[in-house]
Amino acid sequence: MAKLPIITLPDPLLRKASDRVERVDDELRRLMDDMLETMYAAPGVGLAAVQVGVPRRLVVLDTSGEDEERRPLILVNPEIVSLGSEMRVHEEGCLSIPDVRIEIERPASLTVRFLDREGKPQELAAEGLLATAIQHEVDHLNGKLIIDFLSRLKRDIIVRKFKKQAKAEAAM
């Protein structure tokens, strides 16, 4: 397994919709393992393939607590089939937008359909943090970021900051 570099704002790839995964094979499972290692090392609770520069519809998640046994979840071609009516506010961060945290209101529960690590169809009902994390990662697959929940002014300030940072790093 290998830790992969995580792309950050303002990388334009983060704004592109990811392509469907055509088949689950050993190469894709290697990517899944590398993504899990990258997510745990970051540390984060979810990671979309596009965040490691692979614009495919693949997500890894683990919402277990620090003192709990790891419960990795892999979603290939995830599709949210239903959202609950109750809403939940949660402060979200993003590995592609370091040090930015935003309170976002999302449905507190959902049902998602996906292929698992072996390529078998699955359906999962999720609530709380897991439901929030799934919505966050599916947003990534559609080119949407947490800053899109902000006003245009606040979003522009964050984007400018990251562009300036990227320019400074490129000049080094």
Angle at 54 between CA 108 and CA 8, to 5 degrees: 70
- The alpha carbon of 85 is separated from its chain's Cα centroid by a whole number of angstroms, namely 23
Closest CA to 80 of 104, 106, 103, 54: 106
Task: Kindly report the three-state secondary structure assignment for every residue of 33-75.
Answer: HHHHHHHHHCCCCEEEHHHHCCCECEEEECCCCCCCCCCCEEE
d(CA 127, CA 18): 25
DSSP class of 19: B
Annotated catalytic residue, options 86, 103, 127, 137: 137
CA distance 6 to 8: 6
Active site residue 68: no
Could you give the residue numbers annotated as active site?
137
